Structure 1
């Protein structure tokens, strides 16, 4: 470099360069070594005459015994970037073994470096390249020793770490990350392409998009994706990390990768199980719907036959019994019809079917000589189908009983049916403005026995009484849990 003076004119610049505590190698634009300082010679175990005048990669070739050695390739790319852009380029930590000078067998020493390459201009023209390195071998090996101690934890957690050099297209990866991508016994710097070629073709665009958005918005990468190993195995991974910028441009990506394969497989099994369950439930609903439809049709047929039988007999007592049986069968049939129409095989909205049932009962029991008004106040309450069927039978007996006994020797009257939920009770009230005499209260016919049996079965309470304006029956049914 000559013996030019420093700025104060007293100390030669060559002396300052030689004594610098950092290692420097000066290259011309053809990568010929033109100068080197003492610190660099010490770190590499060389002499100036071993280096000056030689091509960089002749002086420091790749270790031929290391099949993964790519130091010359990575350093060459970095120097090309510096020459092309005219800007510094800091490389990720590189494994770059160096020859042991005067070694009889041409051995190499394992070394790890942190390189920084800088352009030198004169009158706007690139005239040289400064290759500055720090020997980080002891720190790197220290971290590796620590990594060995943490290796078990890493294997259990399935986490790998890596750093991508976005300008040179290289990646510095941990052993665990290499294992995740199926590169056994690989650690250190490898081409990024080796990692990306393992990404599933259907997920590659997603990964590139996530990385691109991070570089554009200075955000954090968080991407789930699949990789395909050489044996055809598919593995799910999640990578999270951040992009570091140099000269306002994305330079490096540092991230951690987690193996999600086990949890993804469990999700797939769970999803498959849920899908199969939903299919079975759908089939069950369809089957039960069909069963209710068939039951409704069968009961409707029985009810019709009973009505026809009633119309064909002359005995008043037999006719009445057949008519009552027909109404009871219809009451149950109406619930099954509603179940079929609602597509809910387990529950029924009683507020929907009770008015229909009462209208049918009124029409079936009316005669030309009497005009009985029936008023329904039914709250929308959803109950299990078995309770709905019991309520239908209760209403059938109470309403038909009112039509039969409350309006003796009267042409007009009114029957009120009220069903409301009151707290944890379902309150059914059937009242009329008929004669309200005690004789009807004490009747013990089949209808009364049916009502008493259902009340006992449901654990309900019943209050029957004559009122000032007629007769009233109140039944309180405990609401089923759930």
Structure 2
């Protein structure tokens, strides 16, 4: 014992002061710095020459860029209290930014301190003041940021903040988060299992995988899930946050949860509305398809009656008129049949329909002694139904007119029908290798009036011209928008 005390007595006080793990500054009664230990120099980023022999507030002035800086004023008051009372004084945590030594632009570093000031007496006389500080910047900023998050969670309705310790299985939650999980008037630390037991059984695995599936490079979590409240009510939550890793393993999860129940209910109502709409549209499509089928049958019946009537009359002019009327009705009827088969009541693809229509017209107009070849090229073009019907009537009139007038006193010939789209322009071309006369179209008959009327109605243009081998009619139709 005695030997130990003797050894300790030989340790110089100056060495103890210099090696202290706490920062100390020694001031004379005029607040001039007369000594400083290594720890104080370290935490302030200073050298002894920067401080010793200088007045305290010259060495550590207020940050001129911080209009709210009051560090010098508060420290001065504390030191005055110590000098006046002769008793130590512990200050509250202070924000006191310190100058960055050797900084070109005189910058300051944000710092928070826990100061403790004490008097030094000799023979009952105050000879010095000790200024002891602890750098609490990291702890203060951490608590401040956490307080901000908690305050934000309180200010935003339906948002709660929490921290899960994945290694100990405990959770530290705000009052708002506990309330979201059905634990009113609760906050603080409790087992994670209390949170997990409220998660809907069908969603629990999804939530656990969201936490377990993170990596150090992507530690974010974003999960929607349901909570089953004590009375059986369902609450939808969205939890977002980040998993913090320690020693390569997930250690903590920090996140916030938002009540999505109202939004989910709106989604459910919207989904139900959309489902009902789809059912109504499906019923409408079925109904319109049935209507088109009935129209097709009715028009087909009318066409058949007209053909029978044409066969029963002897007057050639009346017979021809009835036959032409039958073909026109059939052209419209065939479009309705196409609509019915396509299951689309608003648009039809006329690429396959036009060759069938031309073949039917050829069969209906030819005799046993005359054979006219029909060559059809029809691009696959999807048209609105009303345009498809008008196009069918145009083809009916132009093809039957070519068969009737282009091959006078001839038993053979050729009719070419072409339809193609380029950009917003649809072009129908009907040409033949007949006598090259426009006589048929120049007649002011019903067919000519129908063609002219449709061209005008569609805002189209029509060109009729004799060719080297016959005659050609070309109609350019602007495609409707949409």
1:432 aligns with 2:439: no
Alignment partner, residue 315 of structure 1: 315
Alignment partner, residue 193 of structure 1: 193
Q: Distance in 2 between matches of 1:148 and 1:211?
A: 22
Alignment partner, residue 332 of structure 2: 332
Calculate the TM-score normalised by the size of structure 2: 0.67
Q: Distance in 2 between matches of 1:188 and 1:21?
A: 34
Give unpaired runs (5+ residues) of structure 2: 10-15, 23-135
Contact 1:374 1:415 in 2 (8 A): yes
Contact 1:292 1:339 in 2 (8 A): yes
Query: What is the CA-CA distance between 1:10 and the residue it aligns to?
Result: 4.5
Q: Distance in 1 between matches of 2:419 and 2:261?
A: 56
Q: Distance in 2 between matches of 1:240 and 1:316?
A: 86
The match for 2:155 among 145, 153, 175 is 153
Structure 1 residues 375 and 167: alpha-carbon distance in aligned structure 2, compared to 1, 3 A threshold: closer
Contact 2:153 2:161 in 1 (8 A): no
Q: Deviations over 1:1-54 (max 9, x none)?
A: x99979x9759xxxx9xxx999xxxxxxxxxxxxxxxxxxxxxxxxxxxxxxxx
Q: Deviations over 1:216-250 (max 9, x none)?
A: 99843322111012233211112233444556654
Alignment of 1:276-315 (within 5 A): 276-315=276-315
Query: What is the CA-CA distance between 1:303 and the residue it aligns to?
Result: 1.2
Alignment partner, residue 254 of structure 2: 254
Q: Distance in 1 between matches of 2:209 and 2:365?
A: 75
Q: Deviations over 1:133-154 (max 9, x none)?
A: x9x9999997787567545533
Q: Could you say what the CA RMSD is over the residues aligned between the two structures, in angstroms?
A: 3.3
Alignment of 1:382-393 (within 5 A): 382-393=382-393
Q: Partner of 1:303: helix, strand, or coil? A: helix
Contact 1:174 1:187 in 2 (8 A): yes
Q: Distance in 1 between matches of 2:327 and 2:2?
A: 122
Alignment of 1:363-378 (within 5 A): 363-378=363-378
Structure 1 residues 353 and 3: alpha-carbon distance in aligned structure 2, compared to 1, 3 A threshold: farther
Q: Distance in 2 between matches of 1:183 and 1:242?
A: 24
Structure 1 range deviating more: 185-194 or 246-255: 246-255
Structure 1 residues 355 and 4: alpha-carbon distance in aligned structure 2, compared to 1, 3 A threshold: farther
Q: Which runs of 4+ in 1 moved over 6 A?
A: 2-6, 136-145, 215-218
Alignment of 1:110-189 (within 5 A): 150=152, 153-155=155-157, 158-189=158-189
Q: Distance in 2 between matches of 1:418 and 1:215?
A: 63
Q: Distance in 2 between matches of 1:5 and 1:305?
A: 133
Q: Distance in 2 between matches of 1:4 and 1:245?
A: 50
Q: Partner of 2:436: helix, strand, or coil? A: coil
Structure 1 residues 168 and 306: alpha-carbon distance in aligned structure 2, compared to 1, 3 A threshold: same
Q: Partner of 2:413: helix, strand, or coil? A: strand
Equivalent residues, number: 359
Alignment partner, residue 42 of structure 1: none
Structure 1 residues 436 and 195: alpha-carbon distance in aligned structure 2, compared to 1, 3 A threshold: same
Contact 2:369 2:411 in 1 (8 A): yes
Structure 1 residues 154 and 438: alpha-carbon distance in aligned structure 2, compared to 1, 3 A threshold: closer
Structure 1 residues 302 and 379: alpha-carbon distance in aligned structure 2, compared to 1, 3 A threshold: same
Calculate the TM-score normalised by the size of structure 1: 0.67
Q: Deviations over 1:286-308 (max 9, x none)?
A: 11111111111111111112112
Structure 1 residues 143 and 383: alpha-carbon distance in aligned structure 2, compared to 1, 3 A threshold: closer
Alignment partner, residue 239 of structure 2: 239
Q: Deviations over 1:147-202 (max 9, x none)?
A: 675455332xx332212233443211112212221222222112222212211121
